[in-house]
Structure 1
Amino acid sequence: MADIGWAPPAEGWVMVNADGASNGNPGPAGAGGVVRGPLGNWLGGFVAGIGTTTAVLAELWAIYYGLELTWNLGHRVVKLASDSQLAIRLIQERHDPIHPYATLLNLIRRKIGQDWLVSLTHTYREGNRVADWLSKHSLVYPYGMHELDDPPIGVIPLLQDDVMGVTFERRVVATSSSTI
């Protein structure tokens, strides 16, 4: 068992937490995410209506939109956390050009390859609660990404928990860290 919670970025970095949600697989889907500084301060967020798709595509869109927002906000030293090990693995591995997700994976890789430092990492859902809430909240938004200058009222208690270091017990399997 391990205590899992949001982990702030190191000084000089920003943390992007991104998550996708699909109400069915496939089903109506959305994405959400937040950009925060080392003290947990909200720097920006997003929700995105994606349409009908699979859970893994919603996760990949969440990562893409999280990177897009962070770039647009001007941050250039970034740690992005997702609770989808599969999405991270798909981004890190090379695939045949006819892979069903090839276009989106290439968009994400091009975004990561811009003039900045990006580290991709896996976190458990307990460390990604704000993005999880935003992704579920996104299901009521129209298609496309919608930037959030301020946090929605419903997510504020989760942000406060993260700043206070609230953790949750979880059974975890020891693996090596995935970064890019």
Structure 2
Amino acid sequence: MGNPGLAGAGGVIRDDQGSWVVGFVAQIGEATAGLAELWALFHGLNLAWSHGCLNLQVETDSQLVIQWIKNRVDPLHPHASLLSSIRRCLTRDWLVNITHTYREGNRVADWLSKHSLVYPYGMHELIDPPSDLGRFLHDDEMGVTFERRVVASTSL
């Protein structure tokens, strides 16, 4: 809610059929969008590990976070400590592939992150999906696609 502003994170772990395994929401307080994405990645990786998920395809809508993970950042970077923690997670004995997807490509995680603000501060594991999430889960499992409109201007 603003950048920076009150921020939350959310994510979902699905099986190879796209069905819900476990999800999470995290109310993280005042943060930038990039920091919220990093917290989502950190919590999601730890949750996957704790549930024994050892072959992950991680999708984020933040290309900036992917760049931060792939490229070393200055130790004085404001998110250096969290990035270091994420990199340590990635060195565990598992397969993790992190890719970019548009927000429309993972509406469940987007919904969870937006609704994380109704939860108390901190990370909350969701064994069952919230009932309001049903239509997004169904659409995702059925492979429903959504248009993404991009306004492009050209100078002649």
Same fold (TM over 0.5): yes
User: Greater share of helix residues, 1 or 2?
Assistant: 2
TM-score w.r.t. structure 1 length? Answer: 0.81
User: Aligned residue for 1:41?
Assistant: 19
Gaps of 5+ in 1: 1-22, 173-180
User: Aligned residue for 1:14?
Assistant: none
For residues 148-177 of structure 1, give each alpha carbon's deviation from its aligned partner in whole angstroms, at most 9, with x where no partner exists. 0000011111010011110012357xxxxx
For residues 65-91 of structure 1, give each alpha carbon's deviation from its aligned partner in whole angstroms, at most 9, with x where no partner exists. 110110011111111000111111111
Code of the aligned partner of 2:16: P
Counterpart of 1:85 (choices 63, 67, 88) is 63
User: Aligned residue for 2:84?
Assistant: 106
User: Greater share of strand residues, 1 or 2?
Assistant: 1
- CA RMSD in angstroms comes to 1.0
TM-score w.r.t. structure 2 length? Answer: 0.93
Gaps of 5+ in 2: 151-156
User: Aligned residue for 2:145?
Assistant: 167
Name the CA distance, whole Å, in 2 between partners of 1:127 and 1:154. Answer: 18
- 1:11-160 pair list within 5 angstroms: 23-160=1-138
SS of match in other structure, 2:115:
helix
Question: Larger Rg: 1 or 2?
Answer: 2
Code of the aligned partner of 1:48: A
Aligned pairs, how many? 150
Name the CA distance, whole Å, in 2 between partners of 1:145 and 1:64. Answer: 11
Name the CA distance, whole Å, in 1 between partners of 2:73 and 2:84. Answer: 10
Name the CA distance, whole Å, in 1 between partners of 2:6 and 2:103. Answer: 20
Name the CA distance, whole Å, in 1 between partners of 2:93 and 2:13. Answer: 18
SS of match in other structure, 2:147:
strand
How high is the sequence identity, in percent, across the aligned residues?
A: 64
Name the CA distance, whole Å, in 1 between partners of 2:114 and 2:76. Answer: 30
